[in-house]
């Protein structure tokens, strides 16, 4: 990575801001005053002073951790390099205790400065995976995010070379292995800016976390609203949808496989016609992407309910949020969640994906 690229017009301002904090603390030290770092709370937006010394143990620890992160960020900014959150953690694992703790503080600092995290020259540990020939694909085909909690779906799709062989045309496969990190989202956003007509599709499990992952790609995350240029409003939720779950079980349990084979070999023209006229694709979907079905746990229901509440709360009732509301309501009614099927030798998932993607593209 060219190091110069890491120095932006903001860089000088942040270096100043960090140095201001450090100088204020040096002054305080020389006057035997209490040391403080101001941090703005991401929930309330209020500034809070983190003190040293403090009677509260965790405040002392927080002060030390913040100081170290500011120091490392300052070093990276001045040198024009970047540092990963993972590297920060390993500077002093005993102090930080967990990676999560580092992540939280880094986001706190970025929020306090009113900037994106990468303005601190701090990046996430490499997490996302990508497969596909970028130079070929931009401007001509599609991007496809798949996010099952384990990355088995992604590996299966790559192994079957879906990014090259898809009926819908070559594309790029991307996974962030669960909830997407900032770098993956920034990357996708940049891709979108560079090529606005490039369609992007999201494939997630049919469960509350899957929906949240999809929404995080699309709208950003609630706790990182200060980050800019990380949303993908055009992302299409290709699956898994309640229809996929219901379709899976419309067929008799014994005859399921033979039925599926029949359906895929020839799709009656009357059905595809009704599909193009905007009817539900439910009937014409061949193969099932559904792997296992499990009842929702209490925590799943709570998360689904929170997501539903937030979706209903939005004053603009656009078709897209009505769709989201519907999917969450049906999930709660069915009290069932499903994971994406792994790609097996029969290639069921790729067949289904081919079908779902081409149908979707024809409709647009």
Partner 1 sequence: MSKQYLTTHTVDNAHITDIFSIAAAPNALLSASGSSTIHVHASNQPDSPLIQSLTGAHKLGCHHIAVSRNGKVAASVGFGGDVKIWKVSESGSGEWEPFGELDAGKASEKGRGGAGELWAIALSEDGQFLASTTYDGRINVWDLFGDRGATLREYETGTAGSGSFGLCVDLSRDGKYTASGHQSGAVYVFNNDTGRLQYSLPGLVKPVRTVAFSPAGTRLAAAGDSGIIAIYDTKHGEHVGNLTGHNAWITSLDWSDTGEYLLSGAFDGKAKVWSVERSACVATHSETDKALWAVRWLPKTVRNEMFCTAGANRSLTFYREATGA
305 and 298 Cβ atoms separated by less than 8 Å: no
Q: Which is nearer to partner 1, 125 or 246 (CB)?
A: 246
What is residue 294's three-state secondary structure? strand
Q: Cα-atom radius of gyration of the chain, to the nearest Å? A: 24
282 near partner 1 (CB under 8 A): yes
Q: Which of 229, 258, 335, 362 binds partner 1 (CB under 8 A)?
A: 335
- Catalytic annotation, pick one of 90, 101, 201, 217: 90
User: Does 23 interact with partner 1 (rule: CB under 8 A)?
Assistant: no
Residue 305 within binding range of partner 1, rule CB under 8 A:
yes
Please choose, out of 33-41, 182-190, 231-239, 297-305, the segment that lies near partner 1 by the rule CB under 8 A: 297-305
34 binding partner 1? (CB under 8 A): no
Nearer to partner 1, 79 or 322 (CB): 322
3-state SS of the chain is CCHHHHCCHHHHHHHHHHHHHHHHHHHHHHCCCCEEEEEECCCCCCEEEEEECCCCHHHHHHHHHHHHHHHHHHHHHHHCCCEEHHHHHHHCHHHHCCHHHHHHHHHHHHHHHCCCHHHHCEECCCCCEEECCHHHHCCCCEEEEEECCCCHHHHHHHHCCHHHHCCCCCEEEEECCCCCCHHHHHHHHHHHHHCCCCCEEEEECECHHHHHHHHHHHHCCHHHCCCCCCCCCCCEEEECCHHHHHHHHHCCCCCHHHHHHHHHHCCCHHHHHHHHCCCCHHHHCCCCCEEEEEECCHHHHHHHHHHHHHHHHCCCCCHHHHHHHHHHHHHHHHCEEEEECCCCCCCHHHHHHHHHHHHHHHHC
Binding mask 221-250 for partner 1 (x = CB under 8 A): -------------------------x--xx
| Residues in binding contact with partner 1, number by CB under 8 A | 24
Q: Does 312 bind partner 1 (CB under 8 A)?
A: yes
- Cα atoms in the Cβ-side hemisphere of radius 13 Å centred on 335: 3
Among 152, 224, 330, 342, binds partner 1 (CB under 8 A): 330
Smallest distance, partner 1 to C-beta of residue 204, A: 21
Choices 14-22, 154-162, 197-205, 327-335 (CB under 8 A): range interacting with partner 1: 327-335
- What DSSP letter does each residue of 7-50 carry, written as one string? --HHHHHHHHHHHHHHHHHHHHHHTTPPEEEEEE-TTT--EEEE
Q: Does 56 help bind partner 1 (rule: CB under 8 A)?
A: no
Residue 303 makes contact with partner 1 by CB under 8 A: no
C-beta closer to partner 1: residue 75 or 323: 323
| Piece of the chain touching partner 1 by CB under 8 A; list 10-18, 126-134, 146-154, 300-308 | 300-308
Residue 252 makes contact with partner 1 by CB under 8 A: yes
Q: Which of 126, 225, 309, 362 binds partner 1 (CB under 8 A)?
A: 309
Q: Is 257 in the site for partner 1 (CB under 8 A)?
A: no
Closest contact distance (angstroms) between CB of 39 and partner 1 is 33
The reply on whether position 41 binds partner 1 by CB under 8 A is: no
Place of tokens 């993972």: 86
Tell me: does residue 326 bind partner 1 (CB under 8 A): yes
Binding flag, residue 24, partner 1 (CB under 8 A): no
* Residue 90 bears catalytic tag: yes
Interface with partner 1, residue 325, by CB under 8 A: yes
- The residues annotated with a catalytic role in the active site are 90
Q: What is the binding site for partner 1 (CB under 8 A)?
A: 246, 249-252, 280, 282-283, 295, 298, 301, 305, 308-309, 312, 322, 325-326, 329-330, 332-333, 335-336
């Amino acid at each position: 990575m060219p190091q110069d690229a890491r120095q932006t017009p903001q860089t000088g301002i942040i270096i100043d801001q960090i140095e201001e904090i450090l100088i204020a603390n040096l002054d305080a030290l020389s006057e035997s005053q209490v040391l403080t770092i101001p941090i703005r709370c991401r929930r309330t937006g209020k500034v809070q002073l983190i003190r040293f010394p403090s009677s509260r143990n965790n405040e002392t620890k927080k002060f030390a951790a913040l100081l170290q992160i500011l120091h490392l960020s300052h070093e990276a900014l001045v040198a024009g390099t970047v540092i990963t959150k993972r590297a920060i953690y390993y500077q002093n694992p005993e102090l930080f205790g967990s990676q999560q703790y580092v992540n939280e503080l880094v986001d706190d600092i970025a929020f306090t400065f009113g900037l994106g995290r990468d303005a601190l020259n701090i990046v996430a540990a490499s997490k996302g995976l990508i497969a596909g020939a970028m130079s070929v694909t931009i401007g001509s085909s599609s991007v496809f995010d798949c996010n099952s909690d384990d990355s088995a779906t992604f590996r299966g799709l790559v192994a079957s070379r879906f990014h090259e062989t898809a009926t819908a045309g070559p594309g790029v496969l991307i996974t962030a292995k669960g909830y997407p990190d900032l770098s993956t989202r920034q990357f996708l956003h940049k891709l979108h800016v560079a090529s606005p007509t490039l369609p992007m599709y999201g494939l997630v499990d049919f469960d509350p976390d899957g929906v949240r992952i999809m929404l995080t790609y699309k709208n950003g995350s609630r706790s990182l609203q200060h980050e800019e240029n990380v949303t993908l409003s055009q992302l299409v939720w290709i699956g898994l949808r309640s229809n996929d779950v219901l379709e899976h079980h419309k067929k008799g349990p014994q005859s399921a496989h033979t039925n599926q084979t029949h359906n895929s070999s020839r799709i009656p023209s009357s059905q595809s016609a009704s599909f193009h006229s905007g009817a539900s694709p439910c009937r014409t979907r061949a193969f099932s992407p559904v792997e296992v079905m499990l009842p929702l746990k209490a925590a799943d229901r709570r998360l689904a309910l929170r997501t539903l509440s937030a979706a209903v709360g939005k004053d603009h009732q656009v078709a897209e949020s009505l769709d989201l509301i519907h999917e969450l309501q049906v999930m709660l009614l069915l009290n069932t969640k499903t994971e994406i099927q792994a790609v097996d030798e029969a290639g069921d998932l790729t067949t289904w994906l081919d079908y779902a993607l081409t149908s979707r593209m024809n409709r647009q």
